[in-house]
Chains A and B, each alone.
Chain A
Amino acid sequence: MLNETATTITLPPRLAEQVKDYVQEGWFPDLNALIAEALRRYLEAHHSELTERFIHEDVEWGLRGDE
């Protein structure tokens, strides 16, 4: 466990149920693996610079786009 950090999270009941189902169905070995994968995907998909660039593009399109 030398390279791991322990933390506590609180989930809304419905989400907690879904998470439990995923683990019970065997998609992930345990809750920790599922949460780590979800976080990794979130961080990979939400590079802040990229997200902000797209939001600025959206503002321009919203104001002046001609689709």
Chain B
Amino acid sequence: MSKAVLDAGPLIHLAELKALDVLYDFDTLLLPETVGKEVAKYQRSALKYPNLKLSQVRAPGISTDLIILAQAFSLDQGEIEALAILELYPGFLFLTDDAAARLAAAQRGYSSHGTIGLLIRSVRVRRRTPDSVLKLLKDISRHSTLHIRPALMTEIVQRLEKEWAKSGD
């Protein structure tokens, strides 16, 4: 079973795409207090989605080196709290769509993934079909606030179509 600390991006984007079910098989999803407030502001329904094992948690004290890292990467408060929680749970995944937050997480040795990875993963864990994920990816810029260069998305979709055709998924 997978465990993760969440940033606002994936929750908001998956809610916009009506695809929060891709998080069902995570048995622990920790939501830093500030991230919870951000999600409540922009996509409150995501916090009430049935069957998500979401727990809002207060971050521990922020260490000096984390403060320095946060300044260097211009992280916001939610991202800082998420990284502080990851210090307690270093084996958890960090789910974020923010490139700077992912870079900071990598610097601390944490694995991070975003909305695109979660959607593709849902086929691997047999939560969604390839067709439903390909449809979501193709429509992502129309139905969500996740911004991806169209040519890059086309490249990804073509790659996935080949991969999934090959594996018979």
Name A's B-contacting residues (CB within 8 A): 41, 44-48, 50-52, 54-55, 57-59, 61-65, 67
Some 13 contacts from A to B, beta carbons below 8 A apart, are A45-B74, A45-B98, A45-B100, A46-B147, A48-B149, A57-B113, A59-B120, A61-B113, A61-B120, A62-B121, A63-B163, A65-B117, A67-B111
- Nearest chain A CB to B155 CB, angstrom units: 9
With A46-B99, A51-B99, A58-B114 already in contact, the answer to whether A65 and B121 are too (CB < 8 A) is: yes
B149 touches A52 (CB 8 A): yes
Contacts of A41 in B (CB 8 A): 74
What is the number of residues of chain B that contact chain A, defined by CB distance less than 8 Å?
Answer: 28
B-side contacts of A54, CB under 8 Å: 99, 102, 112, 114
Chain A neighbourhood of B118, CB < 8 A? 62
| Given the contacts A44-B100, A45-B99, A52 and B152 also touching, CB distance less than 8 Å | yes
